[in-house]
Amino acid sequence: MVHSLVRRSVSRKPYICFSHGKESGPWGSKIAAMADLARDRGFELDSIDYRGLDEPAARVARLVAHCRPLERPLVLVGSSMGGHVAAAASAELEDVRGLFLIAPAFYMPGYEALTPQPRARRIDIVHGWRDDIVPADNSIRFAREHGATLHLIDGDHRLTDHLFEVNRFFNWFLDHV
């Protein structure tokens, strides 16, 4: 009788961690839609609850504290202030395979110096041309400076009317991390 060894493969798919915006919650419509897509693709994920934490630095500390013990590849996803938080946390974490940022709050007036210097293998940004909170020009500048892929769509800051497009870009992004 021949016995064969069956090796269990440890999933090396990145763990996805979502960061919501300043006035949103951990399972808002954008995050819920992207999380459903990622789960369907076999990714493990979580969304951090930052409600009650107004300071970006406190949010970054919470995200880093959540992700550091995971000891596996990461994908950080953030919307608005959550994009800022995800990018800042990437500089403090190991093996960040990708950042997927939606209308990230970069280069805001009076806070330009606080725009983070990310560390990730891949950065994709989705931003609405009609964003009246964070100008699209801020993401254009960030993409240029960091070699990010940038998707500009005809939407506002929240992009809730464009979830199909956001998910299409997110799905494509996941193919490449």
- Which CATH number characterizes residue 60's domain? 3.40.50.1820
Does residue 35 lie within any of the structural domains? yes
Flag whether 64 is in a domain: yes
The confidence band for 111, taking pLDDT boundaries of 50, 70 and 90, is confident
For residue 160, the enclosing domain spans: 15-122+138-175
Per-residue pLDDT reduced to its tens digit, 73-102: 999 999 999 999 999 999 999 999 999 999
Rg (CA), the chain: 17
Residue 20 lies in a domain: yes
pTM of the model: 0.93
Res. 11 pLDDT band, cuts 50 70 90: low
